Chain A
Amino acid sequence: MSAPLLSARGVTKRFGGRIACRDVSFDLWPGEVLGIVGESGSGKTTLLNCLAGRLLPDGGSVAYETQSAGTVDVHHLSEARRRLLARTEWGFVNQDARDGLRMGVSAGANIGERLMAVGARHYGDIRREAVDWMARVEIDADRLDDRPTTYSGGMRQRLQIARNLVSKPRLVFMDEPTGGLDVSVQARILDLLRGLVEGLHLSAVLVTHDLGVARLLTHRLMVMQGGAVVEQGLTDQVLDDPQDAYTQMLVASILPV
């Protein structure tokens, strides 16, 4: 079988004396969507940032299998190479779309910038692709030249998703992509993400505190508590037959609708 796309070994990160994530190891295989769940403060986002090379862990390593240049150690790449990787083979969807978009330029430029990073040069092609992606994330094409500052929260999040996926990344990191949005907007974005992840055969690491989101989008789950992974396995198995005391408490705390 093929090699894992991303391999974390013993990833540990401290902030001062506090351990934010402790000794996390896993393999992510092509086409898999891995969810990281746990309450706020459990170390989910710190782990995600370590995996994506945005934070330097104090211990452990993260290996990524590149498209053509073999396996690289994410934290031993030069800054320039890491940025190139982040713009070409990866995507990163932030919880707050303002962190993932350039708010001062048009929606079309936000999408086009990613295409140019992977070598697109023809203005007409870039614009056509941008229009196509606006439609895929259900934003009116006549908003293409508007800045994201004029967009609603849900539209910004969809634009951020378009910006990240237009260059057809192999691996997408997502930090609470539906956090802070109305429930109806959430459903729309979840539906969109589900379709895109499946249609583009993406691999993804998704941080969420919402077990419903995790059930809908992920194949596998890691449950974190106090910086450590307390349980991992198939998503439906972890949610329907949780083994660990903390996971049992989390699952039992979901309000039935």
Chain B
Amino acid sequence: MTSSQPALRVCGLAKSFTVHAQGGLSLPVLCDVSLSVSPGECLALVGPSGAGKSTLLRSLYGNYRADSGSIRVRQDNIWTELVGAEPRTVLDVRHRTMGFVSQFLRVIPRVSAVDVVAEPLLRRGTDADEARRRAEFLLGMLGIPARLWSLPPATFSGGEQQRVNIARSLIVDYPILLLDEPTASLDAANRDGVVELIRQRRDAGAAIVGIFHDTYVRDAVATRLHEVLPPAQPAGVSP
């Protein structure tokens, strides 16, 4: 169900890092990146390690600050510009429109796995019992044993923490999803659960941008590839 109107539009995006400890050394990473993603599409970012795939994804989420260019998100049928936006504009877009799944869970002391997962729903005003039910459903679908649900995830294995994180990010039906290696460090059985969830979201009309090093996962979820090249070799220019 691809609609003609994209959900996310990126134009001429540039991002460099300035390292003051190295005498103000400037490291250009992204140069003139443009892309657009429509509802129901899953765009897989591909390119060599160090090309800036993660930097691009984090810039889209506003976690990294873009130098120039434009990142526009369709929200309430209005285009909202994220480059140079006020923090509360970015927070509002993250709250209602754009979710991010990273490889790592930022553990909150003393909060149980089920509450960590339910939190984004509670924040949106969902009833506490309903939020818990959905959190438990997702944790079960991702193969987290029920005996772990009431424990804080600090002591969980890396793969378990990653799945808690995925459940937390997917519990809300965000119209736009950014996925940074959602299946890294998962075994085949758990990987399939994540793939199934991503496909469900995509087919329900989410616009997805992701990094999937696992080609099996990429083939299973991506509808289109977008090549990210190191800045010395801009996209569209043959070496």
Contact = CB atoms under 8 A, between A and B. Distances in A.
Contact of B109 (A187, A233, A244): A187
Interface of B: 17-21, 58, 62-65, 87-88, 90-91, 106, 108-111, 122-123
A175 interface: no
A131 to B, nearest CB: 22
B110 A241 contact: no
Contact of B108 (A188, A216, A241, A252): A216
Contacts of A121: none
Nearest to B24: A245
A190 interface: yes
Contacts of B91: 219, 234
B110 A188 contact: yes
A194 B64 contact: no
Max chain A Cβ within 10 angstroms of own Cβ: one of B19, B65, B123 = B65
A150 interface: no
The range of chain A's interface size is 20 to 34
B87 A215 contact: no
For the residues of A in contact with B, the DSSP-based class is helix
Given A191-B111, A216-B108, A245-B20, 19 more contacts: A32-B88, A187-B109, A188-B110, A191-B108, A191-B110, A198-B122, A198-B123, A219-B87, A233-B65, A234-B62, A236-B63, A237-B65, A240-B63, A241-B17, A243-B65, A244-B20, A248-B19, A248-B20, A248-B21
A228 B69 CA distance: 29
19 contacts: A29-B88, A187-B109, A187-B110, A191-B108, A191-B109, A191-B110, A191-B111, A198-B122, A198-B123, A215-B106, A216-B108, A219-B88, A234-B62, A237-B65, A240-B64, A241-B58, A243-B18, A248-B21, A252-B21
